[in-house]
């Protein structure tokens, strides 16, 4: 059975503007990525889509956080997977913001749609339970750089929640005759960078051919992470369905200029 984006309410708007980690590059949010403050800021700008990342703690609490290591944004040591929820709760992002749980985020933003990247294997079961607990099936899309994590999430969740196609799979299959098999995968969204380094070469990932075949297969194509307005315009001219950006101010400006901004 073919899985198509049109089957999921998550992808109802024609174009999607994603606030990457809540808008990590916005001048008012430097150092506050993946926080309630960042998500509230994005929502105040009118964003319907927010991109987030999740890790599970040592005691299976699901935290919204990007890095494997705590140091860059909190000054803490080690990985979330090595720390308990109580230990994580003492840390601060940008010296002021707590690391939120996914439960807190779902409760604080009941109308917002979230693109969720699974960052460690321990987060898979916890994510399934959180989505069920909050009945958030119609407002999430789940992805991961790990094919194994995606497969396990799909096995546990079934077809109630859309997932992305593994970026690694996209990069590989975009250049070999296996593209039709890729596009028949359970993934509904191709969420990819413009280019990818393979060995010593930087090769294009998004191509007109890939975009055309993805649309023929009923899938949407989202490009990350784009902060240059000229590039945003070029991608929308190509026909991509969504753009992920740290600069929520600039992405909103581009969408507004083109008359496709939907609050």
pLDDT of 184-235, one tens digit each? 678 999 999 998 877 788 888 898 988 998 898 899 999 999 999 999 999 9
pLDDT in tens, 125-134: 999 999 999 9
- What residues contact 90, with CB distance under 8 A and at least 6 apart? none
Averaged pLDDT, 95-115: 98
Q: How many residues does the chain have?
A: 263
Return d(Cα 51, Cα 88) in angstroms, integer: 21
CATH 3.90.105.10 fits 14-256, yes or no: no
pLDDT in tens, 67-98: 999 999 999 999 999 999 999 999 999 999 99
E strand intervals along 75-144: 113-118, 140-143
- Asked whether the beta carbons of 136 and 106 are under 8 A apart, the reply is yes
Which of 211, 212, 152 is CA-nearest to residue 186?
152
* The pair of three-digit structure tokens given for residue 156, joined into one six-digit string: 């546990």
Q: pLDDT averaged over the chain? A: 92
Which amino acids are annotated catalytic? 20, 66
User: How far are the Cα atoms of 106, 130, 156, 158, 184 from residue 151, in angstroms, in the given order?
Assistant: 24, 18, 9, 10, 14
| Predicted pLDDT of residue 177 | 47
Which of 17, 11, 14 is CA-nearest to residue 249?
17
Return d(Cα 263, Cα 261) in angstroms, integer: 7
Q: Where are the domains of the chain?
A: 14-256
| Predicted pLDDT of residue 170 | 65
- Asked whether the beta carbons of 127 and 54 are under 8 A apart, the reply is yes
Q: Residue 150 — very low, low, confident or very high, per pLDDT cuts 50/70/90?
A: very high
Q: Is the pLDDT of residue 1 over 80?
A: no
CA dihedral angle for residue 135, residue 186, residue 62, residue 111, rounded to 10 degrees: -40
Residue written as token pair 């809540």: 22
Residue written as token pair 């280019």: 195
| pTM of the predicted structure, to 2 decimals | 0.94
What percent of the chain clears pLDDT 70, i.e. is strictly above it? 92
Question: Is residue 55 reached through a cis peptide bond, with omega within 30 degrees of 0 on the bond before it?
Answer: no
Return d(Cα 26, Cα 64) in angstroms, integer: 19
pLDDT in tens, 17-30: 999 999 999 999 99
Rg (the chain; Cα; Å):
18
| Predicted pLDDT of residue 176 | 52
Which of 211, 215, 191, 195 is CA-nearest to residue 203?
195
């Amino acid at each position: 059975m073919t899985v198509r984006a049109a089957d999921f309410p998550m992808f109802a708007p024609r174009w999607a503007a994603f606030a990457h980690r809540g808008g990590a590059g916005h001048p008012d949010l430097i150092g506050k990525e993946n926080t309630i403050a960042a998500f509230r800021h994005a929502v105040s700008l009118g964003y319907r889509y927010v991109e987030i990342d999740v890790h599970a703690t040592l005691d299976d609490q699901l935290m919204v956080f990007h890095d494997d290591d705590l140091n860059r944004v909190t000054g803490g040591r080690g990985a979330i997977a090595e720390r308990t929820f109580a230990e994580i709760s003492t840390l601060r992002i940008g010296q002021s913001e707590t690391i939120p749980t996914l439960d807190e985020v779902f409760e604080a933003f009941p109308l917002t749609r979230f693109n969720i990247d699974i960052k460690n294997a321990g987060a898979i079961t916890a994510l399934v339970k959180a989505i069920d607990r909050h009945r958030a099936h119609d407002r999430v899309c789940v992805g991961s750089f790990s094919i194994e994590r995606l497969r396990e999430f799909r096995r546990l969740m079934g077809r109630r929640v859309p997932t992305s196609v593994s970026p690694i799979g996209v990069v590989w299959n975009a250049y070999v005759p296996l593209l039709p098999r890729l596009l028949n995968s359970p993934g509904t969204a191709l969420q990819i960078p413009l280019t990818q380094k393979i060995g010593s070469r930087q090769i294009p990932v998004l191509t007109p051919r890939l975009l055309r075949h993805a649309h023929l297969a009923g899938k949407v194509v989202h490009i990350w992470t784009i902060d240059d307005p000229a590039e945003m315009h070029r991608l929308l001219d190509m026909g991509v369905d969504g753009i992920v950006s740290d600069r929520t101010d600039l992405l909103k400006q581009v969408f507004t200029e083109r008359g496709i901004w939907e609050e």
